[in-house]
Amino acid sequence: MEFWYTEKHTNDVKFSIRVDKQLASIDSEFQRIDVFESPAFGTFLTLDGYMMLTEKDEFIYHEMIVHPAMAVHPNPENILVIGGGDGGALRELAKYPGVKTLDIVEIDKLVVDVCKKWLPQTACGFDDSRVRVFYQDGLKYVRSCIDKYDIIIVDSTDPFGPGEGLFTKEFYGNCFKALKEDGIMVNQHESPFYPKDAEAMQRAHKRITESFGICRVYQAHIPTYPSGHWLFGFASKKYHPVRDLKVRKWKALDLKTHYYNTNLHAGSFALPNYVEEILRNVESEE
Amino acid sequence: MEFWYTEKHTNDVKFSIRVDKQLASIDSEFQRIDVFESPAFGTFLTLDGYMMLTEKDEFIYHEMIVHPAMAVHPNPENILVIGGGDGGALRELAKYPGVKTLDIVEIDKLVVDVCKKWLPQTACGFDDSRVRVFYQDGLKYVRSCIDKYDIIIVDSTDPFGPGEGLFTKEFYGNCFKALKEDGIMVNQHESPFYPKDAEAMQRAHKRITESFGICRVYQAHIPTYPSGHWLFGFASKKYHPVRDLKVRKWKALDLKTHYYNTNLHAGSFALPNYVEEILRNVESEE
Amino acid sequence: MEFWYTEKHTNDVKFSIRVDKQLASIDSEFQRIDVFESPAFGTFLTLDGYMMLTEKDEFIYHEMIVHPAMAVHPNPENILVIGGGDGGALRELAKYPGVKTLDIVEIDKLVVDVCKKWLPQTACGFDDSRVRVFYQDGLKYVRSCIDKYDIIIVDSTDPFGPGEGLFTKEFYGNCFKALKEDGIMVNQHESPFYPKDAEAMQRAHKRITESFGICRVYQAHIPTYPSGHWLFGFASKKYHPVRDLKVRKWKALDLKTHYYNTNLHAGSFALPNYVEEILRNVESEE
Amino acid sequence: MEFWYTEKHTNDVKFSIRVDKQLASIDSEFQRIDVFESPAFGTFLTLDGYMMLTEKDEFIYHEMIVHPAMAVHPNPENILVIGGGDGGALRELAKYPGVKTLDIVEIDKLVVDVCKKWLPQTACGFDDSRVRVFYQDGLKYVRSCIDKYDIIIVDSTDPFGPGEGLFTKEFYGNCFKALKEDGIMVNQHESPFYPKDAEAMQRAHKRITESFGICRVYQAHIPTYPSGHWLFGFASKKYHPVRDLKVRKWKALDLKTHYYNTNLHAGSFALPNYVEEILRNVESEE
């Protein structure tokens, strides 16, 4: 059966995954939601045709968007996830016994419903009793929060469509205010390789540096995302992402991770020259 | 114009690059050699239909196969490259003024000729006066070398076809003998993500550990290789890849690199848990 | 959304249809059944990944497999369809008021169920009160019939998988016996263009000529079948496909057809030289 | 080697041919010219990325654009080909001993040069001593001809780009004037199946009927053209395409053809109802 899902990474580069079956296809109020079954990546979710996550490699993204901040902050108790309706970030956060509240703001309830049905391995994050779900616009939600969270995870889609507002200066400024005085914001930060992705990444970095004092970017290998080279932003009021890493404390938690470890934590902040250059270009603009 | 080169990363995953023109197509004694021009990656070279290098991202592979060993070894003067007929590894090695001889053993002269014509940015490595080219089987060449090289770079194709012999225990053993008492061997080490690549990577690691005392693996982001997550092996008689890194000395050389830097050097040896596990599995077998 | 169904017409030729959604995917006892929705062809059905019919062009196939024989036979009352679980041939046959019994033998009940649900425009053929459905192997069914039908329509899949038996000499011989003394058998006859299809077409013709006195082949333009050039076989005990065409009688029925007409009927038996040659090659073998 | 040429037959339908090598790629003054070698279709030519002809099936197009008019006209001596720079129409015309002059007007000399080099089987048409080549705009050339030709073959590309002018009312009017009082014009007439092709076909028919008294359309099976269902226009001042067919005379010439024969000639003018309807719609507008 020749049945393929293709994502155009650029107009001139295609990444194609053989599909066994399409499991679901729903038009929500906000976007088109599709779930596919594939021999290479297991079940995978797309929104408006863009790859969101696959059963086989989602662990990389979700571990890397959660553990670095959690291993740096000395006492993360109140956590907010913006976006992340698949539940993967929640699942990783729920591994920490010290967490007291786990709020998530997802604009599209149907994404959550679909993931609960077809991607239970990921959506199990919603099962934790500390989780509170708010189905609303993350942009609006965060506007009304002040000095409330230790960590905010911005687990957004790409900077167009429903996720667009989560890449604005206003939004990052509101996240800053919503964080406590030693809070940390982590965001999915696009990719440095293909020119359009690199621009989005640069723009996001510029906007974050306008609000936060400490802004670093770290990287991971995510095979199903464009170029496989994906970035995350670490924006912090007080803690340094590497110097304040609490290696012993984190290891003592004895969490089971498949990608993240504290060595890799430090390593992931060491970026290639060409990426550093793109970032420095906007830093120096200020 | 819809004209695409596609590489099957697995039977169920395709990576496709829009081609503007095919620049060359030659059947050599050993393999089919093709050169294409593409809007996304510039000129690129394939051997037997497998992606070898593209103008846009070859700097990553070539910097990462060369600089880590060069930045660790205290006095690398005699270098051997096995394979690497595109000249990219030579180009990076030629940046070091301390190097005295730069030998390269490439089985297929036509690869060199084609790269000199169509990929001069890469093949310029051959222009250095210290370079000596041997057109022969690397496996045979290395058999006759004893205590001769400070560093051997195994810049092979994949472990099938002409490159197959460069993944055998015998070959690694001969490289060990060809190296001086504090020599280092670096090899392209396949990828950890797709199961078949991971097996090849594991097998290579097992065979190298049978000859060398210090065997570490490091990673880079190479967008045009399967999964974008590529590994290199660092096999050493004496020096540790991270502890013996000479940061100040390397920086003093003031080499211009686009990907590599000494921070990233250390970071690249910090591997994800799942990769460490695959490697440990064969280490413990011994 | 880049989501494509592809059929390999040969190992070196692909025909791809953009899919909007997959509507069904079922593994029956006999084959895999899939239904897709596409912008270009509407809903379409595949069996074991091979294109069977699309909403947009099925009228061509179904009109052409039915009306030529019906317009030649002077009094077709008892009709048998073998295969044809989509109901399209039945739909065309049911247009004739003179038909008394409309038997269909389909091996796979799930094909019928799926078509009734997703392709009602085609499956409506089953609604006619004269239709009797036998869910069994057409090969076996026809063995037990003697002198029973005026017309047999062999609406089979390709000559491999469940449809294989419907391309054998034994089967055609049994169809001959199942037909009355002036009966006509029509079969889907593959395509003359790509070498493997042409072989199948030639083989079928050879086997039919071994049983029937009058064996002619006619053609139609079916855009979604390999090469778009599709053939049907007209095997007859008595009537000639063109000389015995009853133009005035057929026109008097005033049937609404979208492809077939009596001019085209005659024209469709005029084959290109290269097709005639392939057919003559096996005729002369006898 | 996964290397494919793809033509989008519509935005939602792709036809792909595996390519072994690209043999030529030239930007002429008018268009991009590419030649490919493929296992399924042999050498093939594209203009601006659109399929023009393949070694394997060009005989169908070239026989069908030439022989019907030649078999109807009682004494075709002076022939004009407009477009047709590949030489295929010339090759078929040159088979007729009665032809005295064979003029061809091709706008792009490079197309002729490329075909002479890479498609000699087709371009051999230029070798006939009666051939006179004019490298200029067919639209302009025909403006200055009055009562000069027995047959004009309009072998144009699609109605956009360089071929656009060859689908205008003015052009057809000038062809009418360029023909003698019993002249015939044949043109490639696009396809009836996909909506945009059908519109182009309908528009061409409308414009031709505005100049010529007898306007009929005939069809052929061309596997490499969109839908495989291709049309030709037969526009005539005096002769009817079927009633005036000279079967015996044509057979007496004993020409070797691979697709065309006089039976098929008549058959090819019998069109499906849905095509007749599209044509009638514009005929009745007048």
Return the pLDDT at B39.
98
- Could you report the per-residue pLDDT of C169-187, keeping only the tens digit for each? 999 999 999 999 999 999 9
Q: Does residue C27 carry a pLDDT above 90?
A: yes
Return the pLDDT at D162.
76
Q: Does residue D51 carry a pLDDT above 80?
A: yes
Q: Does residue A101 carry a pLDDT above 70?
A: yes
CB contact under 8 A, D17 and C12: yes
**Residues of D taking part in catalysis:** 155
Report the gap between the CA of C169 and the closest CA in chain D (Å).
Answer: 29
User: In sequence order, which ranges of chain A are alpha helices (DSSP H)?
Assistant: 58-72, 88-93, 109-118, 120-123, 138-143, 169-178, 195-209, 247-253, 262-268, 273-283
The partner residues of D218 in beta bridges, in order of sequence, read D232
Q: Does residue D286 carry a pLDDT above 70?
A: no
Instruction: List b or e across B51-72, with b for residues whose CB sees 16 or more CB atoms inside 10 angstroms.
Output: bbbbbbbbbbbbbbbbbbbbbb
Q: How far apart are the first and last CA of chain A?
A: 54
Check: CB of residue C213 under 8 Å from CB of residue C236: yes
User: Which of B6, B43, B257, B263 best probes binding to A when mutated, by most A CB atoms within 10 angstroms?
Assistant: B263
Q: Does residue C276 carry a pLDDT above 70?
A: yes
- D252 vs B: CB within 8 A: no
Q: If 0-12 CB within 10 Å is exposed, 13-18 middle and 19+ buried, where does residue C263 land?
A: middle
Report the gap between the CA of C179 and the closest CA in chain A (Å).
Answer: 37
Return the pLDDT at B1.
80
Residues of D in contact with C14 (CB under 8 A): 4, 14-16
- A12 vs C: CB within 8 A: no
C-alpha R_g of chain B: 18
Check: CB of residue B88 under 8 Å from CB of residue B46: no
Return the pLDDT at C284.
66
Tell me which residue of D272, B40, C148, B42 sits closest to A15, measured CA to CA.
B40
Q: How confident is the model at residue C164 (pLDDT cuts 50, 70, 90)?
A: confident
- Could you report the per-residue pLDDT of A55-87, keeping only the tens digit for each? 999 999 999 999 999 999 999 999 999 999 999
- Could you report the per-residue pLDDT of A1-43, keeping only the tens digit for each? 799 999 999 999 999 999 999 999 999 999 999 999 999 999 9
- Residues of chain A with pLDDT > 90: what percent? 93
In whole angstroms, what is the distance from residue B246 CA to residue B235 CA? Answer: 17
Higher pLDDT, C193 or D162: C193
Q: How confident is the model at residue A165 (pLDDT cuts 50, 70, 90)?
A: confident
Q: Does residue D32 carry a pLDDT above 60?
A: yes
Q: Does residue A159 carry a pLDDT above 90?
A: no
Average pLDDT value for residue range C238-256:
98
Chains that touch D (3 or more CB pairs under 8 A): B, C
CB contact under 8 A, A263 and B272: no
Strand order in the sheet with C21-27: C21-27, C32-38, C42-47, C50-54
CA distances from D28 to A258, C82, D32, D46 (A): 56, 56, 6, 13
- Residues of chain A with pLDDT > 70: what percent? 99
Rama region for D158: left / alpha / beta (φ>0; ψ in -120 to 50; rest): beta
- C223 vs D: CB within 8 A: yes
Residue B155 among the catalytic residues: yes
Return the pLDDT at C162.
77
Report the gap between the CA of C160 and the closest CA in chain A (Å).
Answer: 15
| Spatial CB neighbours of C36, under 8 Å, sequence gap ≥ 6 | C5, C17, C19, C20, C21, C22, C23, C43, C44, C46
Return the pLDDT at D284.
66
CB contact under 8 A, A60 and B272: yes
In whole angstroms, what is the distance from residue C75 CA to residue C229 CA? Answer: 30
Among chain A residues, CA nearest to B194: A40
Q: Does residue A286 carry a pLDDT above 60?
A: no
Average pLDDT value for residue range A121-145:
97
Q: How confident is the model at residue A283 (pLDDT cuts 50, 70, 90)?
A: confident
In whole angstroms, what is the distance from residue A44 CA to residue C212 CA? Answer: 54
- A264 vs B: CB within 8 A: yes
Chains A and B touch, using 3 or more CB pairs below 8 Å: yes
- D35 vs B: CB within 8 A: no
In whole angstroms, what is the distance from residue D187 CA to residue D27 CA? Answer: 26
Average pLDDT value for residue range C235-261:
98
- B267 vs A: CB within 8 A: yes
Return the pLDDT at C145.
97
C101-105 and C78-83: which strand pairing?
Answer: parallel
- C38 vs D: CB within 8 A: yes
- The alpha carbon of A157 is separated from its chain's Cα centroid by a whole number of angstroms, namely 8
CB contact under 8 A, D267 and C272: no
Average pLDDT value for residue range B74-79:
98
In whole angstroms, what is the distance from residue C9 CA to residue C13 CA? Answer: 5
Q: Does residue B284 carry a pLDDT above 70?
A: no
Three-state DSSP at D46 gives strand
Task: Say what the ipTM of the complex is.
Answer: 0.95
Per the prediction, chain D carries an average pLDDT of: 96
CA distances from C83 to B155, C67, C163 (A): 58, 17, 8
Average pLDDT value for residue range D113-132:
98
Check: CB of residue C100 under 8 Å from CB of residue C129: no
Q: Does residue A284 carry a pLDDT above 80?
A: no
Higher pLDDT, D163 or D137: D137
Report the gap between the CA of D280 and the closest CA in chain B (Å).
Answer: 35
- Could you report the per-residue pLDDT of B130-153, keeping only the tens digit for each? 999 999 999 999 999 999 999 999
Return the pLDDT at A166.
83
Q: Which domains, from first to last, does chain B contain?
A: 4-54 (2.30.140.10), 58-283 (3.40.50.150)
In whole angstroms, what is the distance from residue C195 CA to residue A235 CA? Answer: 63
Per the prediction, chain B carries an average pLDDT of: 96
**Residues of A taking part in catalysis:** 155
